[in-house]
Chains A and B, each alone.
Chain A
């Protein structure tokens, strides 16, 4: 574990913690909506708060910063070159899409895709394309967004980008992609969603959920989906993943315990590459991660951290899971892919009568490295 002294919050560095004031306020409906209406902060949702986002320099930012457990200077010191120069890994800036039938010729059923439902539009971004580009600057549902993926930390995350585009800086922190915005060249580690240097230092992007799933499952759930095409404007061998393989079975970097660069912290509660579904609660020192295989097995798991109780619910249709705030401690059973309430009502995993909280898949070392205070639910 990292020394406690390194867990200082960036309040000292001028970054206020989301939620310390009791209410986040100021998130637009678009900003808090993930795949069918996910909340980044359930309090905002519970109170029905929908205020204007703060747009600075053309980028829609969160009014309050996301939690960061190190001061920014420490994180800047941890930044290292991943090898490629700036834009050496080129973002896809003019993505083209095809329908599901056309995509079948490029994708195997078991191929990993990152699914997105936003403003009524449904899209899928194949992992084998994004592993070569890491960022797609797209417009979804009429809104400019960046769909980002870091192969070294196993994280796929969406961000609103406003009038700018994001590129790959070639730098890493905690093995995680450091993005840069092409307007100010501020540096944004993907998992933090918060700039650690530049004009936007200490400010956070508005993020939304991507669903890490397989092509077969996404297509079955969303047959109308559009799919990012290999016609990216760049030539790459999209059949070759330089880090290993997710299909048919994970191999190479994706399962080996070693990381490419030294991680920010060591936490042996889980193997380095074990996938967790992590949630950043805004309260001080409150992060919670559900071990994904445990969720897959149990269907429903409950975890508490600080004053908060969270519920993780597995969705076998997409091999993903959703995290809810459960302030009253309601109990749910799990039966045939559905959550069953005390009164016998059955709910789809994505539609429990609770506030869904933004959470995303990440390799354990990456999550625990950035959030050493995290509690983990393993079953």
Chain B
């Protein structure tokens, strides 16, 4: 019990400092710009890698909804943590497929955005907010970006001409959860170093 009490202290402190760091980052106009820009760009890349967004210049405009969209929303599709598209949006110069993967991608993109915003602030004003300089948020974004490819499974390997294997498929299946763990971990890692007293 004593151990548990001791361990909860640092955890709470880490979470509280991380909250502070995030608030500090998003409390500034440039911090918000980094957050919003990184989130949007990341989501676009995620959808594109997952073959959910294509820029094919079809010229068509319209929305097509699948039969029984609610029933299909949770239906597994191409690979692990990939879901059946339920709506197709044509917007003139491209096509977008809506599925639960967009929400999954948005969640990861928000984590990447927060990581980058905090990292940006640490780089710009490390003393003012008490955040030690860190690029861990950037590094954590790499598997997160690759997890976008996980949505279309090994097909993405076709682009690079890489031969897939069972082991590689297993890795693909874990990319999304690993990305989330790394992004949350990197955020807490940076947040842990924050000393609000210095702010």
Contacts and interface: CB of A to CB of B under 8 A. Distances in A.
Interface of A: 80-85, 88-90, 233-237, 239-240, 242-244, 252-253, 256, 258-262
Nearest to B88: A235
A190 B56 CA distance: 32
Given A234-B84, A237-B54, A83 B155 contact: yes
A240 B159 contact: no
Nearest to B52: A237
Contact of A84 (B54, B56, B58, B153): B153
Given A237-B97, A240-B95, 18 more contacts: A81-B166, A81-B169, A82-B153, A83-B79, A83-B153, A85-B80, A88-B77, A88-B78, A234-B84, A234-B85, A235-B66, A235-B87, A235-B97, A236-B97, A239-B56, A242-B152, A243-B158, A258-B161
6 contacts: A82-B153, A88-B79, A235-B87, A242-B152, A252-B159, A260-B154
B76 A233 contact: no
A233 B58 CA distance: 21
Contacts of A89: 78
A235 B85 contact: yes
Contact of B77 (A84, A243, A259): A84
Contacts, number: 85
Interface residues of B, number: 36
A81 B95 CA distance: 29
Contacts of B19: none
A135 to B, nearest CB: 15
B148 to A, nearest CB: 14
Interface of B: 51, 54, 56, 58, 64-67, 76-80, 82, 84-88, 95, 97, 152-155, 157-159, 161-166, 169, 172
A235 B66 CA distance: 6
Chain A interface, >50% SS class: loop
A262 B157 CA distance: 13
A46 B154 CA distance: 47
B97 to A, nearest CB: 6
A329 B69 CA distance: 60
B68 to A, nearest CB: 9
A235 B65 contact: yes
B54 A240 contact: yes
Contacts of A84: 77-79, 153
B158 A261 contact: no
B85 A236 contact: yes
